[in-house]
Amino acid sequence: MSTKNAYMDTIGRKLAALAAGFLLTAGLAASTAALAGDKSKYEVDGRKSGYLYSNPETQAIEDDDFANGGMLWVEKGAELWKKVDGKAGKSCASCHGDAEKSMKGVYTVYPKYVKKLGKLENLEQRINRCRTEKMKAKPWKWDKDNLLAMATYIGYLSRGMPMNVKIDGPAAPFFEKGKEFFFKRRGQLDMSCKHCHIDNAGKHIRADLLSEGRGGGAFPAYRLKWQKVGSLHRRFKGCNKNIRAQPYKQGADEYVNLELFVKWRSRGLPVEVPAVRR
Ligand code: HEC
Ligand code: HEC
């Protein structure tokens, strides 16, 4: 057996072990199954959104705003936008006016390099910086309702627009770190993101059909398992834990750099916030 085959074999065995007795089986070719109707927008230059790997029931929920539980967070975000908070006596609207105009497209370009910080900043962090610096209010906590609602609302205002993060110039070294993270083996299972989301995309692991991990336009997403929306960093933590690797905290530099890489892998794919996933 060639080295490459032996290597693939090890990965395959690890996945099979993970799948706890269920063998990896080739899933339905996501493209053929899901592309009936107007689903072609979820594939750009061969890059497929996780939507195309979702089962038809889950897709139907995402397609229907009345069924999509994530819309509750959109509504809450719209309310918070107008709410005065903090010692400066301001609301988001006091400075940014009509969010439908001022925030349109903003989601597609985050994380962004910020000179003052000397590093990347993602959308949740930018929202919190406005709270602390501009409103003199307390930052909102990650994966709690207020921050989720505002990030979901701002994401929703870019729905349908193509993901378009910048990776050159001062963002380049952070992009490289994110890329390194994606390909680095870690955890007790000694696996990288690539092993699941590139090498085994389209195969089943337990009940899940592995996607390409291009969730860049999807989060905060409503997960049926969570029964609420959750951040992309929460998803990263879950993926780290799956292979029994130490997860980082939401908002850690490591995850923000990884987010830039994942969002670049999702370039051109439409914003789906709030996407629905299992
Ligand atoms: C006192 C004025 C003020 C308040 C209040 C304020 N912001 Fe900001 N915000 C700014 C300024 C100034 C910028 C920087 C504009 C720039 O970078 O071009 C900004 C930038 C942003 C950006 C990035 C926009 C982009 O194009 O990259 C987001 C997102 C944002 N604010 C969200 C919020 C939210 C959400 C709230 C309420 C929780 C809020 N802001 C409250 C002044 C404010
Ligand atoms: C053991 C396999 C495995 C590994 C390793 C893994 N993931 Fe995942 N990941 C999953 C499964 C299962 C799901 C849920 C189904 C899907 O979308 O693939 C998922 C979902 C995702 C999603 C959501 C995609 C969407 O559109 O909803 C992203 C983004 C993601 N993973 C990124 C990562 C990153 C980044 C890493 C490396 C830190 C990683 N994953 C490592 C198994 C894995």
Concatenated DSSP letters of 210-272: P-----TTT-SEEETTTTEEE-HHHHHHHHHHHTTPPPPPTT-HHHHHHHHHHHHHTTTPBP-
- The answer to whether 222 touches 231, Cβ cutoff 8 Å, is no
Q: Where are the alpha helices (DSSP H) in 92-218?
A: 92-96, 99-102, 123-129, 145-156, 172-183, 193-197
Mean pLDDT of 50-54: 97
Per-residue pLDDT, 38: 80
Mean pLDDT of 114-140: 98
Per-residue pLDDT, 21: 35
* CB of 30 shorter than 6 A to ligand 2: no
Of the ranges 9-18, 81-90, 92-101, 211-220, which one carries the lowest mean pLDDT score? 9-18
CA of 239 to the centre of ligand 2 (A): 5
pTM for this structure? Answer: 0.91
Pocket test for ligand 2, best of 188, 235, 243 (most atoms within 8 A of CB): 235
From residue 245, give the alpha-carbon distance in Å to each of 187, 241, 248. Answer: 4, 5, 9
Chain length of the chain: 278
From residue 82, give the alpha-carbon distance in Å to each of 76, 88, 150, 229. Answer: 10, 14, 11, 21
Per-residue confidence band for 29, with pLDDT thresholds at 50, 70 and 90: very low
Mean pLDDT of 66-86: 98
Which of ligand 1's atoms lies nearest the C-alpha of 81? 37
CA of 131 to the centre of ligand 1 (A): 9
- Of all protein residues, the one whose alpha carbon is nearest to atom 34 of ligand 2 is 193
- The answer to whether 157 touches 103, Cβ cutoff 8 Å, is yes
Per-residue pLDDT, 25: 43
CA of 85 to the centre of ligand 2 (A): 36
Per-residue confidence band for 163, with pLDDT thresholds at 50, 70 and 90: very high
Per-residue pLDDT, 168: 98
Highest mean pLDDT (candidates 8-22, 163-177, 204-218): 163-177
Share of the chain above pLDDT 70, in %: 87
- Give the largest CA-CA distance in the chain: 69
Q: pLDDT tens-digit profile of 190-199?
A: 999 999 999 9
pLDDT at 31 over 50: no
- Of all protein residues, the one whose alpha carbon is nearest to atom 20 of ligand 2 is 213
Per-residue pLDDT, 206: 84
Class of domain 75-156: mainly alpha
Q: pLDDT tens-digit profile of 220-261?
A: 999 999 999 999 999 999 999 999 999 999 999 999 999 999
For residues 33 and 39, which has the higher predicted lDDT (pLDDT)? 39
Per-residue confidence band for 36, with pLDDT thresholds at 50, 70 and 90: very low
What value does the mean pLDDT of the chain take? 91
- The answer to whether 206 touches 153, Cβ cutoff 8 Å, is no
pLDDT at 103 over 60: yes
**Structural domain boundaries in the chain:** 75-156
Of the ranges 14-18, 149-153, 223-227, which one carries the lowest mean pLDDT score? 14-18
Which of ligand 2's atoms lies nearest the C-alpha of 201? 18
Nearest ligand (C-alpha, residue 106): 1
Per-residue confidence band for 52, with pLDDT thresholds at 50, 70 and 90: very high
8-state DSSP, 28: P
Pocket test for ligand 2, best of 42, 211, 265 (most atoms within 8 A of CB): 211
Amino acid found at 80: L
Cα separation, 168 vs 113, whole angstroms: 10
In sequence order, the 6+-apart residues with CB closer than 8 A to the CB of 139 are: 128, 131, 132
How many CB atoms sit inside 10 A of residue 47's CB? 16
Contact residues of ligand 1, CB 6 A cut-off: 90, 92, 94-96, 106, 126-127, 130-131, 134-135, 150, 154
Which of ligand 1's atoms lies nearest the C-alpha of 90? 5
- The answer to whether 167 touches 110, Cβ cutoff 8 Å, is no
Catalytic residues, by residue number, are: 239
Per-residue confidence band for 12, with pLDDT thresholds at 50, 70 and 90: low
